[in-house]
């Protein structure tokens, strides 16, 4: 596990840059993480980020695209519009969660 600095604080990340300790994340980090991958957060982004954080707290793992569609009711197409190319990975990265086990 690597320690890196994001927004002036030390956080633990894996080899791909995903935070490994969700308790180190707060909403002030999200815009910085989003900016790192070229995303400017809107309220629609925040709704998904907050869903992922809540779902992770109850499920113990990062939600996949399919789970976000099924449980949060956000169509896959919308997820791709908000988080282009790899929505599950990008949502998890910005939400300060581990990389999802499967993206679908």
The catalytic residue positions are: 103
Spatial distance between the Cα atoms of 95 and 47, rounded to a whole number of angstroms: 11
Token reading at 47: 């709704």
Place of tokens 């925040």: 46
SS3 content of the chain, % helix, strand, coil (to 5): 50, 10, 40
CA distances from 68 to 9, 35, 71, 80 (A): 30, 22, 5, 12
């Amino acid at each position: 596990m690597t320690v890196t600095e994001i927004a002036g604080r030390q956080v633990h990340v894996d080899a791909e840059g995903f935070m490994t300790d969700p308790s180190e994340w707060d909403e002030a980090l999200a815009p910085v993480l989003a900016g790192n991958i070229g995303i400017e957060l809107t309220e629609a982004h925040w709704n998904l980020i907050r869903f992922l954080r809540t779902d992770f707290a109850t499920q113990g793992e990062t939600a996949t695209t399919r789970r976000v569609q099924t449980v949060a009711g956000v169509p896959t197409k919308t997820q791709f519009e908000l988080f282009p190319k790899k929505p599950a990975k990008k949502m998890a990265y910005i939400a300060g969660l581990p990389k999802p086990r499967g993206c679908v």
